[in-house]
Structure formats: structure tokens, C-alpha cells
């Protein structure tokens, strides 16, 4: 099985082109290839699949084999692969952030959240330099996130975790996120708090966990514990959720930059269409062949 390893600001995945390859047991394969000691090493596995309603379809599996609905960094890398390997023909000039110039090209990708449009920023060598994703409208209703709490939204909800009192804001970007604001993200014991929150009984589908330091109204510093993968260098959908949470709690503006351990993402929660836009790089690491077992 041929594969390619790619990353979006350090959030790395193994990609399989299922236009050409067949994966019988993706959950099992994800666990094997993601192992950083006995496998290739990654935060998970992403399959690039033909779609009847879009240019390609993404299926994403975490390092523990569980399937996730959405992965923002993974989606950017998938779009780069689809364009550069000519799996689909991009539409020219059909995508832009409201109020911004249009991207040179765009693709439509089918995900667990539905069909999302991605804009491609292309260099002089016809390579994808950056990808801008319309991540859609944030989901704030508790039952749809899902989180077992009452009310129309979960904003600064008190929660006790490992004897600590925390204030939690919940957002779904197609996958669930629990956001906590703090003074200094480096001081957070993420390896302890992350799994305790991820597996809390409030979350029937578990949750991604983010601690956010507000540097100023246009800059956020984020550390992430990803559902099914643990501490990661970045989480694209999580950064979008943190932007929404920061706006909801009046800590930040709708346009901001997220600083993550692996790099930066530009975010915009637009008032015109209520959609969150995320722009960032996508990089190839290497190609290889995974032997049959």
C-alpha cells in the first residue's frame, strides 16, 4: 500500500489515495501506522476517497482507531494532495473569505460535517502554498455538540476536573471541542487534564480539549489534547472553536491569529455568513510503501 505523510503545522497524518488503493480495515491500520515507535508515526490516518457529490471525500481516523467527523489541518493537506496529484480539476476563482480577494482555485471536499469548500493559494510552480477552508457555521446547541448540559449554549460553564474548578465553553465544528481560558498555557498539566476532560461523562462522543491564553484581542496561544490522539502540535478545527469561544466570551475579535506549538493559523468568524474561515500551510513529508501484514 502506497502512502504519503503530510502535516499541517505539525499535525501529521498518513494519507492513502483510495482512488488507487483499497483499505479493508482503516481503524486497525490507523492504530498500526500511527505508532511512533513501531509504525510510521502520526496523529492518525486519512483516506482520500472518490466522492459522487464533491471533488474528493475525506475519512479521518485518530491514532487510537476511532473515526472523527472533521480535521481542519488534515483537510488542508488533503486538498493540497488532490490538486497537486490531479485527482480532480480545481475551479478557478470561486472561493473567497467575505471582503477578501478570491483564491486562485478551489475544491469541494466531502467530510463528516458535509461538503466544505477550500480555497487554494498557489505559488509560481503550481504548488499549493496555503489552503483556506470554509469550516462552516459553528454549532453551539448542547445536544448537537454533543454535551449533556442544558441551555441554548455552553459558555463559561463551571466544571470540576481532578479537583480543579474550571470554566468551560463548548463548540462543535462538526466535531466536539471543550475550550478553557487560562493565564499561561505552559503551566497547564495537559497530560493529566486532557484525558480526564476528553472522557468526562458530559461528552457522549468524547471531546477535544483546548487551553487558550489570550495574548491580545487578535492573538490566541493554544495547547490541545485531541480526542483519540492525545497532545498534538496543532488542531485546525480546534483553533476555529477557540476563536468562536473567545468571541463568545468577549476576549477576542472575530479575526485573529492562533499560535499553536506547530505554527500559526489565520482565523475569521465572519458576521456576514456566520462561517469560520481558517487559512494555513500544508506540507508533504515523505512517500513510502507500507508492507502487507
Active site residues: 71, 235
Cβ 169 vs Cβ 245: under 8 Å: yes
Run of H or E including 197: helix 190-198
Run of H or E including 79: helix 72-84
Burial class (CB within 10 angstroms; exposed 0-12, middle 13-18, buried 19+) of 79: buried
Cα 188 to Cα 207: distance, rounded to the nearest angstrom:
18
Report CA 122 to chain centroid distance, whole Å: 21
Residue closest to 75 by CA, chosen among 231, 239, 209: 239
Residue 255: how many CB atoms within 10 A of its CB? 17
> What does the buried/exposed string (b/e) look like for 191-222 if buried means 16 or more CB atoms within 10 Å of the residue's CB?
eebbbebbebebbeebbbbbbbbbeeeeebbb
Report CA 182 to chain centroid distance, whole Å: 21
CA dihedral defined by 118, 13, 69, 63, rounded to 10 degrees?
A: -170
Cβ 256 vs Cβ 243: under 8 Å: yes
Amino acid at each position: 500500500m502506497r502512502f504519503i505523510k503530510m502535516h499541517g503545522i505539525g499535525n501529521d497524518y498518513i494519507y492513502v489515495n483510495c482512488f488507487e488503493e483499497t483499505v479493508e480495515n482503516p481503524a486497525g491500520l490507523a492504530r498500526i501506522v500511527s505508532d511512533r515507535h513501531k509504525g510510521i508515526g502520526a496523529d492518525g490516518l486519512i483516506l482520500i476517497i472518490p466522492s459522487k457529490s464533491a471533488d474528493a471525500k475525506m475519512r479521518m481516523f485518530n491514532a487510537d482507531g476511532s473515526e472523527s467527523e472533521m480535521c481542519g489541518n488534515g483537510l488542508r493537506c488533503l486538498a493540497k494532495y488532490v490538486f497537486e496529484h490531479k485527482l480532480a480539476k480545481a475551479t478557478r476563482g470561486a472561493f473567497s473569505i467575505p471582503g477578501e480577494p478570491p483564491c486562485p482555485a478551489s475544491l469541494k471536499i466531502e467530510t463528516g460535517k458535509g461538503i466544505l469548500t477550500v480555497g487554494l493559494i498557489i505559488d509560481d510552480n503550481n504548488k499549493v502554498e496555503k489552503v483556506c477552508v470554509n469550516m462552516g457555521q459553528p454549532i453551539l446547541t448542547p445536544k448537537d455538540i454533543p454535551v449533556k448540559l442544558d441551555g441554548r449554549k455552553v459558555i463559561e460553564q463551571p466544571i470540576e476536573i481532578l479537583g480543579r474548578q474550571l470554566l468551560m465553553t463548548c463548540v462543535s465544528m462538526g466535531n466536539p471541542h471543550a475550550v478553557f481560558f487560562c493565564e499561561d498555557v505552559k503551566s497547564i498539566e495537559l497530560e493529566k487534564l486532557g484525558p480526564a476532560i476528553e472522557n468526562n461523562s458530559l461528552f457522549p462522543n468524547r471531546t477535544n480539549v483546548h487551553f487558550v491564553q489570550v495574548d491580545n484581542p487578535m492573538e490566541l496561544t493554544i495547547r490541545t489534547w485531541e480526542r483519540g490522539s492525545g497532545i498534538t502540535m496543532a488542531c485546525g478545527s480546534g483553533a476555529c472553536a477557540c476563536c468562536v469561544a473567545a468571541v463568545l466570551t468577549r476576549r477576542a475579535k472575530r479575526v485573529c491569529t492562533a499560535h499553536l506549538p506547530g505554527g500559526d493559523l489565520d482565523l475569521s468568524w465572519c458576521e456576514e455568513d456566520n462561517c469560520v474561515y481558517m487559512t494555513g500551510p500544508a506540507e508533504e513529508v515523505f512517500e513510502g510503501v507500507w508492507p502487507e501484514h
